[in-house]
Structure 1
Amino acid sequence: MSVLILGTAGAGYLYYEHLNSNIRGGSRAGGESGVKKATPNALGDTPLNILLIGSDSRADAKNVALGGGKDLRDSKPLADVQMLLHVSADRQNASIVSIPRDTIVPIPECKDGTTTYPATTSSPINETLARGGPGCTLTTWEKITGIYIDHWMMIDFAGVVAMADEVGGVPVCVKTGVHDKPTRMVKGGSGLKLPAGTTEVQGKQALQWLRTRHAFGSDQNRAKAQHMYLNGMVGKLQKQDAWSDTGQLMGLAETATKALQVSDELKSVKKLFDLSMQLKNVKMNRLTTATVPTAEWSQNRNKVVMIESAADKMWSMLRDDIAFDKNGKATGPKTGPTASAKPKAVAEDPGSLAVTVSNGTAGTGGAAVEGRAKDIAGALAGKGFTLAAATTEQQPREDTVVLYPKSGGDQGKANAVSVAKALGIPEAKVRADAKTEGITLVVGADWHEGSRYKAPAAKAGDLPEGADDKTTCMDIYSVYRWDGKS
């Protein structure tokens, strides 16, 4: 977009600056998660992770007109929609994963300017936005998933309507007519009223579709409907070839820069354009939508918790860049060491290398395996690393890593790789770290037993039951079915 605009004569530069002035930004993170960016692949590329947030803010009169709640104008907004967009390192496949808004999760300490919000373990994930802004939502996701998130993008009610209108409507489908209205048993409702079949929703109707919950039966199904909407929008833009149509591109640019708020790293037209160029070539059959499976929370039937085994598998696949669809090959690290065609340095004698082993088996919320660091330090000693020693300081994380000082260069990496090879840890899990003073092996939640690392079994498309939610048409809960007449 910057090339197209700056290539025009006269007012081009002024218009470019006008678009830049539309964009609102904010800090990427609201706290410390300890999660590091993934190791680049052989071509130097890393996966791209963007957190998409839908805010229910009523601070603006337009949002009150669309979403009601005049008494909520002074209330802090909630993040009622949260989706992680993961684009593979090779940019060939992408996944969108939702966590339902009422899911109880551990929320870390977050800061918003001079205000500090203490950590909590009994609040729903949608409250993260009110506890430190979108940066806190991002930090919470990083703590839960162990995945480094590059950026966040946030939109409110008015922004949704504006974007739907700009693309000329978004196709959605219901199997029967639907009217999401108040009932005797359940108050509220989005007001959505559509006949059976496919409709291109825009304006207020688009917002009603995204906010509908009761007619779809649950928050899980609401996420499914939201994913249908996103798939419909992306598909329509690709069919319109919006990226090469100068007129439409400028219209989209004007609307999007006003509708979206983004993390500071994206706060310019050029950076947003560069981002869109990375996304536009992902084919629709390589875009998978999923929702983390949940179960009723024991303390409140109206709240849910993630099913730990299913969530852990999904996060592990994303961390290792394993495709959610079956149309491509797994691109994540393979079990066993990775051979380098031409080593840049030769590892020093194992007996001369000091290795600190830390217990990280607690992960993001589980219980640590007692004595795990000591056991692995003993295993290393048996392999000739006689200076290996366990530390009592725990470093909870989901995946096992071998860290070495960034200042160590090629020699530091070669030494760390020799530690990884001794225990069967993939070379992809060896990472340079600016804060590490020596070689540190963190035994993650993915390695609870045994003295030789075995990567969790996962293959492309191997999602847990109930996670893949792509659908062509939504079911409607019986109470909200509409005959198209009344």
Structure 2
Amino acid sequence: MNDNPMYMEYVDDADSPEPARRRGWRILGWVCIGLSAVMVAGSLTMYGVYRKMFGNIAHEDTNALVGPNRPKKLNSAMNILMLGSDSRAGANAEYGRSMKNEPPRSDTIILLHLSPGGSGAFGVSFPRDLMVPIPSCKKPSGATTPAQSKAQINSAYTLAGPSCTVKTIESLTNLRIDHFMEVNFVGFKSITNAIGGVPVCLPKRVDDPKSKLHLSAGKHTIKGDQALAYVRVRHGLGDGSDLGRIKRQQKFMGALANKALSAGVLSNPDKLLKLINAGTKSLKTDTDLTASTMMKIGTGMQGMTSGKLRFITVPWGPDPADPNRVVLSQPSADNFFNAMRNDRTVPAEKKPAAGGGAPKIPASQVKVRVYNASGIAGQAGRVAGALREQGFQVEVGGNRTPISSTTRIQYGPGADQQAKTLAALMPNAPAPSPATTGALSGMVDLVIGTNWTSTSLKTGKSGGPIPKQQGEIKADDNICDGN
């Protein structure tokens, strides 16, 4: 037994019936959120010192391994796939010696989406048991793996490494992944130590014999092995569910990022250098994520605050074929990925109402009928509800045939200015046009086509271009809320 009082086997609970291949630790990738926060200050001073530290990073040529057939970028947003490796190589061997000879896994998969212009960031977690298609992947050795029609998403890493996970996420979401960042156990410990610990809040005392975690109720600042135990423990803290543990991990990394973004870290050269050095020594990235690229990203994030950093688990539900696995919940997942794919910086790209000039009629005085020509059941009702929240007078007009690929705004006699008010919330819709059939005086008709996404309508309530998601956590949330 290791003499370290905080030593434990870093696998899911030892008494779990889960086979060893499914075991693994899920939090590691979240430390990359903290590393991303470090980028904010990276371009400001001491570039030469930072460049030397970035020389510690290992790399993999993702472009060569994934190949040319990748999703197109529709905007200047940045997507960074963050992976947590449970490799026991080198100093990581002490964290689960029974798994030393097993192939490494990535049971933490986080897609960090940085909105254009530093307007916000979104950390999207993919559950390790999510069942998805895995494409054929090329290994760094040159060998290829066969495609799988349905497999756990974390198996992509085991099959062919981080670039295979990139290819899998791209095929699943149709989002272009710009870079990946991978960190291991030692990296997590080093970062929590370098930052001076992370604040947490416990609703009750914890005395867990498996993890050797012993903390009283209330607030604590934890780091190193104690932080590893806190994010790993399941039955000794909370309700024992995996969902509860994921939420706790998200709050932990929100608190880590909040501290990294605080003036106390970024304005202190000594603390900042320790944090960057700790992170880069245990980091692996794609070859294109160079020191200069990181600095460029940091420059674009100068306006980032912890209140703009949000966390969520991708929409999911139980797998009908296996209650121990999960699948993407549709159409919620596709709507969310569409929102990310079409993300725009609203303040910089806001367009005037179609036809020129700002709308002069308030939403409360605009009557709208919503028609569904998308072929998606219930779409008109959902859009009508969103418009009512904006203050419009709305009724559902029903379905229209044939199905239309384009969303249209049409207006009856005397409703051209009202149509401008609606168009102001729909920057990608065609200019309003007079209705040719069924027009009512003073009425605006909104015909929903198949191109409608959750970002087709600016809600103005989420603080950014991607609508607020159910269950999301912000980095500046009170650490004791929800305990």
CA distance 1:27–1:178, change in 2 (3 Å) = farther
Query: Match for 1:56 among 50, 73, 86?
Result: 86
Distance (whole Å) between structure 2 residues aligned to residue 265 and residue 226 of structure 1: 29
Query: What is the distance in 1 between the residues matched to 2:294 and 2:172?
Result: 27
The verdict on how the C-alpha distance between 1:218 and 1:308 changes in structure 2, with shifts beyond 3 A counting, is farther
1:87 match:
114
AA partner of residue 4 (structure 1): T
Instruction: Report the Cα offset of residue 275 of structure 1.
Output: 2.6
* Distance change >3 Å, CA 105–CA 171, structure 1 → 2: same
CA shift in 2, pair 1:94/1:102, >3 Å: same
Distance 1:465 1:284, change over 3 A: closer
Q: Distance in 1 between matches of 2:349 and 2:321?
A: 38
Residue type at the aligned position of 1:196: A
Q: CA deviation at 1:34?
A: 4.1
Structure 1's unaligned 5+ residue stretches are 7-12, 41-45, 183-189, 324-328, 340-360, 362-374, 381-398, 401-423, 429-449, 477-486
- Residue 456 of structure 1, CA deviation: 2.4
Q: Shift in Å at residue 146 of structure 1?
A: 1.4
Is 1:321–1:330's contact at 8 Å kept on the other side of the alignment? no
2:220 alignment partner in structure 1: 199
Q: Give yes or no for the alignment of 1:321 onto 2:356.
A: no
Counterpart of 2:472?
A: 468
TM-score for both structures, normalised by structure 2: 0.63
Distance 1:330 1:262 in 2: 32
Task: Please give the alpha-carbon distance, in whole angstroms, between the structure 2 residues aligned to 1:88 and 1:218.
Answer: 32
2:428, 2:262 → 1: CA distance? Answer: 41
Structure 2: distance between partners of 1:275 and 1:75: 36
SS at match of 2:45: helix
Give the conservation status (yes or no) of the 8 Å contact 2:79–2:179: yes
2: CA distance, partners of 1:33 / 1:143: 13
Other-structure match for 2:255: 232
Number of aligned residue pairs: give it: 350
CA-based RMSD of the aligned residues comes to 3.7
| SS of residue matched to 1:58 | coil
Cα pair distance change 1:19/1:99, threshold 3 Å: same
Equivalence map 1:189-268=2 (5 Å): 190-214=211-235, 215-216=237-238, 217-268=240-291
Gap runs ≥5 in structure 2: 1-41, 357-375, 377-401, 408-425, 431-446
Asked whether the 8 Å contact 1:172–1:201 carries over to 2, the reply is yes
Aligned to 1:355: none
Q: 1:455 aligns with which of 452, 458, 464?
A: 452
User: In the alignment, is the contact (CA less than 8 A) between 2:261 and 2:305 conserved in 1?
Assistant: no
Q: 1:331, CA displacement in angstroms?
A: 8.3
Q: Secondary structure at the match of 2:262?
A: helix
Per-residue CA deviation, residues 165-205 of structure 1 (Å, 9 max, x unaligned), is 000001122222234555xxxxxxx4443322222110111
Identity percentage of aligned residues = 29
Aligned pairs for 1:66-465 (under 5 A) are 67-68=95-96, 70-113=97-140, 114-181=142-209, 190-214=211-235, 215-216=237-238, 217-268=240-291, 270-321=292-343, 426=428, 453-458=450-455, 459=459, 461=462
Aligned counterpart, 1:348? none
Query: Which amino acid counterpart does residue 56 of structure 1 have in structure 2?
Result: D
Q: For residues 221 and 101 of structure 2, what CA distance do their matches in structure 1 show?
A: 34
- Bigger mean CA offset, 113-122 vs 128-137: 113-122
Structure 2: how far apart are the matches of 1:39 and 1:3? 29
Deviation at 1:273, TM superposition (A): 3.0
Q: Report the 3-state secondary structure (helix = DSSP H, G, I; strand = E; otherwise coil) of the residue aligned with 1:273.
A: helix
Q: Quick check: 1:5 aligned with 2:46?
A: yes
SS in 1 for 2:62: coil
**Paired residue secondary structure (1:38):** coil
